[in-house]
Structure 1
Amino acid sequence: MRKILVWLAMATLIAGLGLISPNASAATPYCGIHWGSTDKSSPAMVTSPITSVRSGQHPCFDRIVVDLAGPAAGYLVRYVPEVTQDGSGFPVPLRGGAYLQMIVRAPGYDLPRSNELVNVTGYRTFRQVASAGSFEGQTTLGVGVRARLPFRVFTLDGPGNGSRVVLDVAHLW
């Protein structure tokens, strides 16, 4: 009986300090984002070429848009220790605390080979977007980000007969 009373007294003390609560719930996610940071992929391979790569800033995330001339392409986006060039395997130098490899399953032979493919100066999450080349019908981009943060990838149809592969990376968890 004494052990039960001691246990009840300790539980009351802990609850009084706010360390446990019968109404405890998970913290509200940043901007309602539930994306996570694990690999995202879609297997679709297309022959319509990439026409441009652009970026944008939003209140809760930074965005990269890959425009295609035709139907939506598949993709593989994942955090990697190092992004490498297609074909050669040489490392692509990137700024940031974490690196996303963005493979778009469409050719991008007309994209410039550039370590500054898109200007992301002043962005909250992105530090750099670099072209890592196009090889055997797929194109790789290296994205340097501030830290390993949640991201999502999706495709959109349009404008016209074109489509887009979109990468959003959250500012916070």
Structure 2
Amino acid sequence: MKKTLSALAGSVLIAGALAVVPASTASATPAPYCGITWGSLNKSQMQMTTASVVNVRSGRHNCFDRLVVDVAGPVTGYYAEYVDTVRHDGSGHPVPLRGGAYLQFIVQAPAYDQHGNQTYRPANNRELVNVNGYQTFRQVAWAGTFEGQTTFGVGVRARLPFRVFTLDGPGDYHSRVVIDVAHYWH
């Protein structure tokens, strides 16, 4: 009986001590930066269109930098991935970009209409939008339009998480392809 009480008392002491010790002594994984869980692997949605690229614009947000490609027509497909060198559509020549990492961003819509007339003509192929002061973007450059698609080179600070998605509107005959690149991983 005495051994049983000693064993029981020892068990109670050990259980009490365990209740005081934290469940895990390993450091907790930090929460994702701004709740972002996008990752940095390639993103795609394959969908061809007869619509044309008509504009490119950018914006700064609290957690990411955004590039928007306006398309005159229904929403279209895209492909985006980090590459060692962005290449110009058609020729394959390298597109020089500033930054520590490079995104090749392809919108499956040409920058010309069904008659071959340009629908988007950049004022400066090396600087499509002014990204001075942006936290992540370093440069957005023209990489050409060829065989029904338009390619952009996006120079970013480092290989960071990104997402790509499409939006309808404004209006019935317009849509947008959007790429957001996070400012940080965590």
> C-alpha separation between the residues in 2 aligned to 1:130 and 1:24?
42
Q: 1:130 is matched with which residue?
A: 141
| Aligned-residue RMSD, C-alpha | 1.9
Deviation at 1:25, TM superposition (A): 3.6
Deviation at 1:34, TM superposition (A): 0.2
Q: 2:101 is matched with which residue?
A: 98
Q: 1:167 is matched with which residue?
A: 179
2:72 is aligned, of 66, 69, 72, to 69
| Partner-residue secondary structure (3-state), 1:31 | helix
The one-letter amino acid paired with 1:43 is: M
Alignment of structure 1 residues 141-156 onto 2, 5 Å? 141-156=152-167
TM-score, normalising length: structure 2: 0.80
User: Residue by residue, what CA displacement relative to the aligned partner does 1:76-130 show, whole Å, maximum 9, x if unpaired?
Assistant: 0000000010000000000000000000000013332601011101100000000
Deviation at 1:23, TM superposition (A): 7.6
The one-letter amino acid paired with 1:125 is: T
> C-alpha separation between the residues in 2 aligned to 1:102 and 1:151?
11
> C-alpha separation between the residues in 2 aligned to 1:24 and 1:123?
32
Alignment of structure 1 residues 1-173 onto 2, 5 Å? 21=24, 25-109=28-112, 110-112=120-122, 114-160=125-171, 161-173=173-185
| Partner-residue secondary structure (3-state), 1:122 | coil
Deviation at 1:148, TM superposition (A): 0.1
> C-alpha separation between the residues in 2 aligned to 1:50 and 1:111?
10
**Where in structure 1 do 4 or more consecutive aligned residues deviate above 4 Å?**
none
> C-alpha separation between the residues in 2 aligned to 1:111 and 1:74?
21
> C-alpha separation between the residues in 1 aligned to 2:51 and 2:126?
24
Deviation at 1:47, TM superposition (A): 1.2
User: Residue by residue, what CA displacement relative to the aligned partner does 1:45-95 show, whole Å, maximum 9, x if unpaired?
Assistant: 111101100000000000000001110110000000000100000000000
| Partner-residue secondary structure (3-state), 2:126 | coil
> C-alpha separation between the residues in 2 aligned to 1:129 and 1:136?
21
TM-score, normalising length: structure 1: 0.86
> C-alpha separation between the residues in 2 aligned to 1:155 and 1:111?
22
- When Rg is computed on C-alpha atoms for both structures, the one with the higher figure is 2
> C-alpha separation between the residues in 2 aligned to 1:99 and 1:111?
22
Q: Where does structure 2 lack aligned partners over 5 or more consecutive residues?
A: 1-20, 113-119
User: Residue by residue, what CA displacement relative to the aligned partner does 1:14-47 show, whole Å, maximum 9, x if unpaired?
Assistant: xx9x9x9258542101000000000000000111
